[in-house]
Structure 1
Amino acid sequence: MTIEAVIFDIGNVLLEWQPERFYDAEIGETRRRALFDAVDLYGMNERLDLGEGFRDVIYETADAYPQFRAEIRMWHDRWIDLAQPVIPHSVKLLRALRARGIPVFTLTNFGAESYAYAQTQFDFLNEFDQEYVSGRMRMIKPNAQVYQMVEDQSGIAPGHLLFADDRADNIAAAGARGWQIHLFTVPQGLADTLIGHDLLTPEEAAA
């Protein structure tokens, strides 16, 4: 079936997203473990992904845990350091697809404000043909309505969409709707999938 658009998740597909690694480097593993045991930082981040205010949510959480206030505020104040490095081969694949004239979308659980900030720091985030950002949509993957919105707004039938995401639950939800799917682990795996769909040549997909 012909692919009419390739859809990229961002975290751990185009940008590495490993908050524990960041905190280990900044405050040490022992302090990081204590922080993550005491504070539901991923739950806090989900509020951002659902569209709540970037600074407001993080600073509110920090104030609720004064013993970790400085560390929690890093999630906002050092956010660009938290949300990297770039995964260069994935970015190369995105750009190779665009050079071929193949539409490239993003479908990402990402705060509206933090996404806008990230676009000022990472140029490739401004290169999508369509952006489906959970913080703008006010719903997150794997909610079926998220995928429905992509289908409705793009006008592309499910079987003609190819979606790459690092989370199995997000991929399963897309697959259940009939999307073509790729569970991302390393860029070469995605490259091989794109080659297999005749979207890129091996040379175009090389690292």
Structure 2
Amino acid sequence: MKPEIRHIVFDIGKVLIHYDPNLPFSRLIPDETERRWFFDNVCTHDWNVEQDRGRTWAEAEALLIESYPEREEQIRAFRKHWHEMVPHAYDGSVAIMRKLIADGHDVTMLTNFADDTFAEAQDMYDFLHAPRGVTVSARVGLIKPDAAIYETHAKAFDLDPKACLFIDDSPPNIVGAKGCGWQAVVFTGADKLRQDLAEYGIAA
């Protein structure tokens, strides 16, 4: 039997809004092989994650430009054109979140995000103001799937971990949440999310 869920926690990137760094860089570095090399060696996933942990873009850019001075313009382009990487919302999951809030469910968000880009995302997408609150990784200096960020979120919003359902597109983040005693489901689309919520007796 599924436990009673009293708190629903949404991830944001690839759950509520689309994210793809290739969108601006397919124009900035048209050659696919070169572009793949750039993301594998220069503006890597691990480099970007440190901005989610709280490193400033100025520090991040300086670090790479020191090693790849010939790539300075492309390195700076990552932040400059960031808004193009998040071009649209996932209307289905946004509708689910809005319905959950309208129906009186306690909804918050927990996201790996840089501080300034999250503020930009909230300007672009008004629904990111709709939940009761959000924990932004860069603002607390912690990132998923570290246990500390789930614990920080639960404490900040007075959540009972056993009554939390977390929705995230990343399997490691799901494992992290479960390790903290939360219920958690992998997001693959709105239809599957409705089915997952229904299994906990939640209409969406």
- TM-score normalised by length of structure 1: 0.89
Map 1:49-198 → 2, pairs under 5 A: 49-54=52-57, 56-61=58-63, 63-64=65-66, 65-198=68-201
The reply on whether 1:16 has 2:46 as its aligned counterpart is no
How many Å apart are 1:68 and its aligned residue? 2.2
How many Å apart are 1:38 and its aligned residue? 2.8
2:9 paired residue number: 7
Equivalent position SS for 2:184: strand
Instruction: Say whether the 8 Å CA contact 1:35–1:68 is kept in structure 2.
Output: no
Mapped to 1, the partners of 2:135 and 2:79 lie a distance apart of 22
Equivalent position SS for 2:108: strand
- Tell me the alpha carbon deviations over residues 137-190 of structure 1, each in whole angstroms, 9 at most, x when there is no partner: 101011111111122222221121000111111101111222111011122111
- TM-score normalised by length of structure 2: 0.90
Equivalent position SS for 2:162: helix
Structure 1 stretches of 4+ with a deviation exceeding 3 A read none
Residue range with higher mean Cα deviation, 65-74 or 185-194? 65-74
Mapped to 2, the partners of 1:26 and 1:77 lie a distance apart of 12
Mapped to 2, the partners of 1:196 and 1:58 lie a distance apart of 43
Instruction: Say whether the 8 Å CA contact 1:62–1:73 is kept in structure 2.
Output: no
Equivalent position SS for 2:51: helix
Equivalent position SS for 2:88: coil
Equivalent position SS for 2:192: helix
Percent sequence identity is 32
What's the RMSD between the two structures over aligned residues?
A: 1.7
For structure 1, the 5+ residue unaligned runs are none
